[in-house]
Structure 1
């Protein structure tokens, strides 16, 4: 009996060691995926450093200039609609640096933010390579376009945030004045933080269909549930639009809300497709 207990204890110990080895092996594999992603982000960041003068003047400071693409398009739209108020020809407010190492920190932070943003699709691809071996063949096929669609939605969100939300918000806040005695003067950190937050937050929000796809696969969300909750979703979307945009004007909130409504409707279609796939899979298993 004692020998049997010893043998059993040894077997259990061996199984535990194998499980621990397997866990640490997975951690090691994940570590290398993250290392490669970090290297890619560092390479992009270095590239940004090399061309930083042009990137700063053209991209980072773009929404502060009246010649920015968005403002020019609004002027043209105002001409077509005979609404001269649409045209933004002045962005008041002086941007200053208040810290000794402020400009150096600005260069590092802005280059790193751009590096992470541009490296995000590659980071997704590395994470997909890590997760893929653990999936079944059908699950791999079902999620085969995950990296492409997630990257596409993120990029579309970033572009929408940069060209629509950021300039509208900056224009509103720069022109806002409660008294002639107060002059608008912004720190460069505040400006960069506003542009980066508005841009990246919109990129994350645009991942809504991907989130719905995951929740649908887990059985948490259904197309019928989303259709029934559409009225509540409208309220939530308006709240999200109000949070994303620091401006209280209805025009900016409406501009932000419309793509979110579209994404929600796309999410309903995605949830419906997932349900059909599940039903088809269940029928094949029963056949």
Structure 2
């Protein structure tokens, strides 16, 4: 029994290594395809800042390899985004064999919904939050102070807050999952709206750029997404995999008992038929 468990564990590790290797190769291919366009990608990402910079201001770099390393980091991020479908497929292919049929049907759509919301959060930050936040920051420049952001600092800033907004937009998925597995109840969430609003306010203050406008622009969609998650959670009742598994386990013994009863009945019938001949 221990040998079988050990072989199963090693088999899972080998399968995990194979899936991770495929994902890494996909990201590397995406990196190689993205690097020739890294300058154009950076220009697109820098557009919200360049549009609000004062006349004569521009992005700068203070060390020789700074721009090159920035382009490499940006190509890695772009390569990961390009390889994301393959990475998600490898993740799904690894965990799917260990799930019940009803779990696969519930989990598979959640992956795509999570990716959609994550991209939606990043686009919301790029088109709505960043232009207004950068305009607010640049407004402090004047005759004696000129805004000249560093290339790597700007990339770090925009990537950090893009990821933060993408993660913040996962709230509906988190609520639906927690309700389905029974950790949270819809009635409890409805009674706790004020606490949810407080948590969203704290999270928006931590995740957003350090100005009130950006905080409000993240707080409003976060709380709206909480209400969206609550709406769908109320219409998708939490599954009870333990009960369903127990039902599946009891179904087979019941069928086995029925087969034994049929065999016994057939045996008695044969004896009754043989009795008069003797």
**3-state DSSP of counterpart to 2:209:** coil
**Structure 1: where are the runs of 5+ without partners?**
1-14, 67-87
Matched, 1:168 2:128: no
1:259 paired residue number: 221
Deviations 1:20-60 (A, max 9, x none): 11112111111221222222222222221122232222x12
| CA distance 1:278–1:16, shift in 2 (3 Å) | closer
Q: Is the 8 A contact 1:94 1:185 kept in 2?
A: yes
Mean Cα deviation higher: 109-118 or 197-206: 109-118
Verify the 8 A CA contact 1:41 1:119 in the aligned structure 2: yes
RMSD over aligned Cα atoms: 2.6
Q: Aligned residue for 1:75?
A: none
Task: Tell whether the 8 Å contact from 1:95 to 1:186 is kept in structure 2 after alignment.
Answer: yes
Matched pairs, number: 246
Bigger Rg over Cα: 2
* Deviation (angstroms), 1:213: 2.4
- Indicate conservation of the 8 Å contact 1:33/1:126, yes or no: yes
| Whole-angstrom distance in 1 between the partners of 2:55 and 2:101 | 55
- How has the CA–CA distance of structure 1 residues 92 and 255 changed in structure 2, closer, same or farther, with 3 Å as cutoff? farther
Give structure 2 stretches of 5+ with no counterpart. Answer: 251-278
- Give secondary structure in 2 for the equivalent of 1:247: coil
CA contact (8 A) 1:223 1:269 kept: no
Correspondence list, 1:269-284, <5 A: 269-275=231-237, 277-278=239-240
2:201 aligned partner: 238
Give the corresponding residue for 2:45: 60
Which is worse superposed, 116-125 or 235-244? 116-125
Q: Calculate the TM-score normalised by the size of structure 1.
A: 0.76
Distance 1:147 1:266 in 2: 17
Q: Give 2:156's match in structure 1, choosing from 193, 215, 228.
A: 193
Equivalent residue of 1:96, what SS? coil
Determine which of 11, 16, 23 is the counterpart of 1:25: 11
TM-fit CA distance, 1:146: 2.3
Name the counterpart of 2:34.
Answer: 48
